[in-house]
Structure formats: structure tokens, C-alpha cells
Amino acid sequence: MKLGADSRYHTVHMAGHSKWANIQHRKGAQDKRRAGIFSKLLREIASAARVGGADAAMNPRLRLAIDKARAASMPRDTIDRAVKRAAGGGEGAEFHAARYEGYGPGGAAVMVDCLTDNRNRTVADVRHAFAAHGGNLGADGSVAYLFNQVGALAFASGIDEDKLTDAALDAGAEDVVAHPDGSCEVLTAPGDFEAVRTALAQRGLHATAAEVTQRASTSATLSGDAATTMLELLEALEELDDVQNVYTNAEIPDDVLARLQA
């Protein structure tokens, strides 16, 4: 599941939404990776602006990238400079999208989305991360079929679930998922994401995080050494400069996560 730099905007997307949110929240609170997060966000902003132009209102990908940057407390001037430089064809490397797929410990599927100016370097780094943590890089399409692209809007605990559900379904959302902690998620078809988000905001329902992401259709429950090594693999991939997003169908039970983070 997608989360982020503020615990919801992060690059790793696991099958267990609330579980990974909790672990990433604790890690994010230490704020050890702000420079790395900013670098990844600026790369996405630049790529989006180069491809779709500098007008965020007409460029949904850029709008999402800017939203993530603001959620990570990136200064507005930094964002504006990155957009203008990229859209104007200014100096700087041109990045291309690349996706790598494979399997981690316990047979869990892992899909890695990158923005790179050197595919040879990137694939070598990703392959090394897999090999060093009990996984293996697979062929194109080897795990992608296990994931579906969806729009996801997260709402904090305390949200009026009935009001949110009525508004979301009226706006064309596909589903509203309530979590045990009181938070909710609105799921949409990718093409309906912007319309649903705008409609909810107009009714005073503002998501704490919102994006088009990949969700696993099945999960692989891990425990013991497999769970530990999987987390290490995800960390290793996440720390690579060229990696923007990591998706996995790994499901790690709460009690295992608690022991690993003790």
C-alpha cells in the first residue's frame, strides 16, 4: 500500500496498509532521509514537467508530484525552480522510467519503479539488492500481473465514515475501506482519481494522502527470517537514488513487525 514521506508518502507499498504505515511513521519521525526523499521528489517533479508541461492544473502527474513534495515540507521556491527548469529544457539529466520485477524472501513479489539517466547502472544496483537479500530479479511481466493500478485517497481517523462513503460513491469512487484505527481509504479507477479528489475536497473532505498507485491482488504472509530479510530488501531498494517506488505483496503480521522494531 502506498504511504509517504510523512509516513504515508513513502516509496514502499506493502500489502498491509496500516502495518507498514505504523513502521514507516516511526522511521519517518527520525527524519534521517529527508535529503534522499527530496532528491526523489525533485526527480519526479522534473520528469513530470518535462513530459506534460509546467501547468499542474493540466498535468495530473505533476500535480501529484508537487502534492507529495509539499507533504514532505519541501520549500515552495525549490518546487517552482524545479518545474521551471525542467519545463524550459534547462540543464540537468533527462530521466527515463524503468520498471524491474522480481521475488524476495518467501516468494513475495516485488515491483520496482525507477527514474534513471543510466539504465545499466540502475539494473545493476537493483539486481545486487535482490541478490544480497535472498531474492532474484525476474523477467518483465513476471510479477506485474499480481498488481492493479488504483487511485487511493487516505483519510485520518475521526473522519465521518458515512459522510465520506456517501460523498465518495456519489463522486464515482469504486470503494471505501474502513480500517480498525478509524482511518478510511477511498479507492477509485485511475481515470476517475482527480474527479473524485476534487469532488470530495469541495465537500470539505480533504485527504491526508492521495495518489495513483499499485495494489497487490494477492498477498504473501511472511514470518521469521523471511520477514526480517524482506524488510532489509525493501530498505536496500528504497535507498537507491534511482528508485522512486517499491511495491510488494508481502504481508507481515503485526506481532512480527513489533518484534522486529523492538
What confidence score (pLDDT) does residue 260 get?
62
Count of C-beta atoms within a 10 Å radius of residue 107? 12
pTM for this one? 0.77
How much is the pLDDT for 115? Answer: 92
Q: How much is the pLDDT for 18?
A: 38
Q: Are 158 and 178 in contact (CB under 8 A)?
A: no
Q: Is 118 left (phi over 0), alpha (psi -120 to 50) or beta?
A: beta
The predicted pLDDT at position 3 comes to 29
User: What is the C-alpha separation between 151 and 230, in angstroms, rounded?
Assistant: 26
| CA–CA distance, 10 with 239 (Å, rounded to integer) | 11
pLDDT per residue of the chain (262 residues) written in tens, 0 to 9: 232 333 333 345 555 443 334 334 334 434 446 667 888 888 889 888 888 888 888 888 898 889 888 888 888 999 998 888 887 765 566 788 999 999 999 999 999 999 998 999 999 999 999 999 999 999 999 999 999 999 999 999 989 999 999 999 999 999 999 988 889 999 999 999 999 999 999 999 999 888 889 999 999 999 889 998 998 999 899 999 899 999 999 998 777 777 766 6
At residue 158, φ and ψ (nearest 5 deg) are 100, -10
Tell me what pLDDT residue 17 has. Answer: 44
With cell 519521525, the residue in question is 29
Q: Could you give the C-alpha distances from 63 to 41, 49, 92, 119, in angstroms and in order?
A: 12, 10, 21, 26
pLDDT value of residue 261: 62
Domains of the chain: 12-87 (1.10.10.200), 96-144+218-253 (3.30.70.980), 146-216 (3.30.70.980)
